[in-house]
Amino acid sequence: MGSEQMVMFQESVDFSGVKRKRLTIFVVLSIVIGWAILFLIPLTGLTYGEGASVIILAAMMFSPALSSILTRLITKEGFKNMYLRPNFKGHIKEYLLVFLGPSILLFLSGAVYFLFFPGNFDSEFTELNTLLAVNGPKGVSAVTMLIISILQVMIIGPIINIIPTMGEELGWRGYLLPKLQEFFPDRMALVITGVVWGIWHLPVIVMGHNYGTNYIGYPWLGILAMIIFCVVLGIIEGYATIKLKSAVPAAMIHSTVNAGAALPILLAKGGYNTLLGPAITGLVGGIPFIIVAAILFVKIGHRGSF
């Protein structure tokens, strides 16, 4: 090997080491900062899901974006290629699909769950009527409120939570995924991103997020179910990110999911198994998302191919 080739090889090895360092720092920071914020809930004596704990959970969602910024500063990477630009030009059809597709999947997910478990469907809308009696406008029926909720998810779902979901997606899809693509084929990068995303949720799942605490195998089956869900949703969001070279569509999808995930729960009788549904985080409730993720996973192929 000539001296020039030796220098090029050494530079390649050094640069690869820098990339690995950035990956490691980002993952460690995301988990440490995210978990540290979340542990404020028990440390301050709060109950998860009530009062100020909701604000703390929202703050946790910004830890991936903060970790991306800190990693860029620590490693002197700079702030290019942050995946902040939406890249609307030439992609209007794709954005229409991003805008409407997730809400359609949400509604299909609820329908699929109740097809599997028809006995869990509350035809009397007990939960909705209870909510209306406490907080709802007078004279509005449960059916009307359900229709309004569906329209809200479809029309404002992709943007109503866009700020906190960008706090996550600028880290997961805007930083971690592109960095993993430098080492792995797209399929593997998508799966690893989803697994890291799922592990990041670990303490909040232990606290009862999505699955509660009253299920067989608590908390380990809940953690596993969340990792599976994050891989599934991560493939869908990651595909949109790679296709449009932006974290914005991922944040829109994430926003819609957060806005509408509770709808099937409002239509269910008590006593259901949260690991199965009716929310999309369950293995049955999430079947439409799993099918779409599988299709995209096959389609995406190896690095850079669609």
Per-residue model confidence as pLDDT tens digits over 121-130: 999 988 888 8
* pLDDT at residue 12 greater than cutoff 50: no
| pLDDT of amino acid 1 | 54
Residues 6+ apart with CB under 8 A from 238: 173, 177, 189, 190, 193, 194, 250
| pLDDT of amino acid 248 | 98
Q: pTM for the full model?
A: 0.92
| pLDDT of amino acid 17 | 87
| pLDDT of amino acid 85 | 95
Pick the closest to residue 103 from 282, 284, 278, 252 (CA basis): 252
Interatomic CA distance for residues 210 and 108, integer angstroms: 19
- pLDDT band at residue 194, thresholds of 50, 70 and 90? very high
Rounded mean pLDDT, 150-163: 95
pLDDT averaged over the chain?
Answer: 92
| pLDDT of amino acid 304 | 46
The residue with greater pLDDT, 17 or 291, is 291
Rounded mean pLDDT, 51-64: 95
pLDDT for 175-193, tens place per residue? Answer: 999 999 999 999 999 999 9
pLDDT for 92-151, tens place per residue? Answer: 999 999 999 999 999 999 999 999 999 999 999 888 888 888 877 777 888 888 999 999
| pLDDT of amino acid 7 | 34
* pLDDT at residue 4 greater than cutoff 70: no
Alpha helix locations (H) across the chain?
A: 3-38, 40-43, 53-60, 63-74, 92-116, 126-135, 142-160, 162-171, 177-181, 186-200, 202-206, 220-244, 248-260, 263-266, 287-300
- pLDDT band at residue 9, thresholds of 50, 70 and 90? very low
Rounded mean pLDDT, 63-87: 96
- State both tokens at 253: 């999808």
| pLDDT of amino acid 262 | 86
The residue with greater pLDDT, 17 or 24, is 24
- pLDDT band at residue 13, thresholds of 50, 70 and 90? very low
- pLDDT band at residue 306, thresholds of 50, 70 and 90? very low
Based on its alpha-carbon atoms, the radius of gyration of the chain, rounded to whole angstroms, reads 21
Interatomic CA distance for residues 268 and 35, integer angstroms: 32
